[in-house]
Amino acid sequence: MNILNLAAIDLDGTLLGRDHAVSAGNQAAIRRVIDAGAVIVLASGRQFSTIDIFAQKLGLSSDAPIIAYNGAMIRTHGGETWFHQPLPAASSSAVVRYCAANGLHLNLYLNDVLYVRDETHWSRMYQERTGTVAQITGDLTRFSGEQPTKLLLIDTCEKTDSLQAHFQAEFGDTLTITKTEDEYLEFMAPNVSKGRALAETAKRLGLSADQCAAFGDSYNDISMLEWAGLGVAMENARPELKAVADLIAPPADADGVGAILVELFPVHPEHQ
């Protein structure tokens, strides 16, 4: 196996356990990898500002790249934007209108701010999971013509499954549509993915796929694990992700990321 120089790590269900926090074990392993000279890239469906909080807690350098919004944005911990691909205005506005007409909860992310129509059970659940405080703005159709970075519809698993089929048939060519949690149906610009963003990040850093490892647990991580030279799925991952993984890590709640990082990125004597 080639020497690895980069690890791209998903947050929820991967680096973060059910308490939505970074464990001491995972934090120590990441610190060890950084001290050994490797690059840690946090890669999440979350908005940049809520991922950046973890970058700060982990002590990542200001030039450390962060993949946000499922790959729609790459921005460094220091705030330099490397890539940003928002949704097309027409398709975004159509999704917003559909959700408004059908009473569906929708998160709209514009300029790294989260907007919702009103406070609901779903908005409270999202805040509990991510710590993100939404701006309550009333009718989201007021953003018609804007190009948000991402839209996120939140409902029951059954509802998001059925709506995914509906939206895929309607917008499959003009939007990227994926589920990330049972309740989350996410909309990004066409061709946006964590895999594409990881490829762009590696290219910018002068690294090949064989020098990169990727860790994940859900559908939106598939492209990232497929692109990386080494794909690692958590024990708690979706079966579809495990099917494309090269390694299976212990569960997120058992410091699975840290356990594999220590194996993949051994500390050389000069770094001890």
pLDDT digits (tens, 9 = 90+) for 30-70: 999 999 899 999 999 999 999 999 999 999 999 999 999 99
For the chain, give the percent of residues with pLDDT over 70: 97
Does the structure show a pLDDT above 70 at 268?
no
Res 2: pLDDT: 67
User: How many domains is the chain built from?
Assistant: 2
Res 269: pLDDT: 44
Average pLDDT over residues 217-240: 97
Domain finish residue from 188, 222, 253: 188
How do residues 140-186 score in pLDDT, each as one tens digit? 999 999 999 999 999 999 999 999 999 999 997 899 999 999 999 99
Domain finish residue from 137, 172, 188: 188
Res 69: pLDDT: 97
**Residues facing residue 22 across a β-bridge:** 16
Q: How confident is the model at residue 119 (pLDDT cuts 50, 70, 90)?
A: very high
Domain finish residue from 169, 188, 207: 188
Q: Let me know whether 76 and 202 are in one domain.
A: yes
> Which has more pLDDT, 265 or 103?
103
Q: pTM score > 0.75 for this model?
A: yes
- Which residue segment(s) compose the domain that 29 sits in? 6-84+192-271
Question: Residue 234, SS3?
Answer: strand
- CB contact set of 103 (below 8 Å; sequence gap of 6+): none
Res 135: pLDDT: 96
Res 33: pLDDT: 93
Please compute, for residue 218, the number of CA atoms within 13 A of its CA located in the half-sphere on the CB side.
23
